[in-house]
Amino acid sequence: MYKIAVAGTGYVGLVAGVCFAEVGHKVICVDIDENKVNIMKQGISPIYETGLEELMRKNYAAGRIDYTTDYKSAYKDADVILLGVGTPEQPDGSANLSYIAAVARQIAETIEKDCLVVVKSTVPVGTNDKVEQFIKDFLVHDVRVEVASNPEFLAQGSAVHDTIHASRIIIGTESKWAEDILRDIYKPFGIPIVSVSRRSAEMIKYASNDFLALKISYINDIANLCEMVEADIQDVTKGMSFDPRIGDKFLNAGIGYGGSCFPKDTKALEYLANQNGYELRTVKSAIAVNRDQKLILYKKACKRLITFNGLKIAVLGLTYKPGTDDLRGAPSLENVPLLLEQGANLCAYDPVGADNFKKIYPKGRIGNGSITYANNAKEALTDANLCFIFTEWNSIKALTPSDFVNLMRNPLVYDGRNIFAVEDMLSAGVEYYSIGRKAR
């Protein structure tokens, strides 16, 4: 088994570190935040992720994983160092590589034995070549160091399962030495390994994520047309899904994609193409469709209402999808400020993401409107004039049509996730608007 150091304890780094410990490797996770490190030592995860805390406690007690702010001790004798730090989007759509560079410099000045540096962070094609050269430029000790690409394909909310039971593992290397090490550390997982060049591995990550984003934007485009021609998008996608070339994944019409990957990765690939004098027309269109889709419910409501001023509006769901507390790219962040600007009094509910949302929009008066937070969905609906549904949490899906009728002052519902059957809502007396569907 290998001694593995992990730089960064976000979704990528922490999940990877815990899962490597679970299969027997000795892992130490590095973070600059002392408080965060102390919390993790107590078995408390800084991110909401199903099953993660259980594995953190189990492997910490077994001595297979630890957490530290002391990168020097963590890196100096590591066999493998994983980079799981963030590569956030910059204003022009490019990836910010400053965190990658900072860790690369630390590695160069610290390692005292032969070491494989594995970049799991999503980085533009060609970045791993630069990271390897950067490390060698600042290398202090006479040791062998190579950089490999090992992109992750986990989904937030199911990251642990997606890591341990991945469909494939992509490794990008430039030597048999690096390839053999990666094959060896992944051997206990028993998952097929696809070995390619570093640049191909980097491109596989972007091409995969952007393809899924394309599917989502495509089906949302079709859904919008379905409304105009009185077809039902759910009937359409059901018929499409039986074709094995299409399948049934990522065909749920709604109010667009969000999260830490799709918005950032589509823009980064578009930027990369532009830098090389090429226009990725499909990806460019997916970005535009998704941008417009996030406000489609708001625009529908604007056509129906003369004003939002003074109305109590229930907002159900704040995170970009269920199973995570992540708000990045969430439709709520696009719609809430518009509603507040129009003077709406919002009552928001999310079973996991409310605390993060409060950091952006604290309870109370904000601009022309106000926001409060409910403990459950029914509390948010009570006496509301209007309801927006942005996330399909089970606690929201558990509502019945009669709940909207009995609790709301006016049962007017805009459902961005097509949770409820149109016929059920209309027959109960709910004025119901969704995505790509018409009542029969």
Give the C-alpha separation, 100 to 14, whole Å.
16
Please say if 347 is a catalytic residue: no
How buried is residue 231: exposed, middle or buried, by Cβ count under 10 Å (0-12/13-18/19+)?
A: middle
Beta carbons of 67 and 9 less than 8 angstroms apart: yes
Look at the alpha carbons of 271, 263, 87, 199 in this order and tell me if their dihedral is positive or negative.
negative
Give the C-alpha separation, 190 to 177, whole Å.
20
How is residue 126 written in tokens? 């060609």
| 439: DSSP letter | -
Beta bridge partners of 412: 431
How buried is residue 97: exposed, middle or buried, by Cβ count under 10 Å (0-12/13-18/19+)?
A: buried
How buried is residue 196: exposed, middle or buried, by Cβ count under 10 Å (0-12/13-18/19+)?
A: middle
**Inter-axis angle of helices 127-137 and 198-229, to 10 degrees?**
140
* CB count in 10 Å sphere of residue 383: 11
CB proximity list for 377: less than 8 A, separation 6 or greater: 316, 349, 395, 396, 398, 399
Candidates 261, 302, 347, 387; catalytic one = 261
Query: Given strand 345-349, what is the order of strands in its sheet?
Result: 364-366, 369-373, 345-349, 312-316, 386-389, 412-415, 431-433
- CA count, 13 A, side-chain hemisphere, 173: 20
* CB count in 10 Å sphere of residue 290: 23
What residues are labeled active site?
Answer: 261
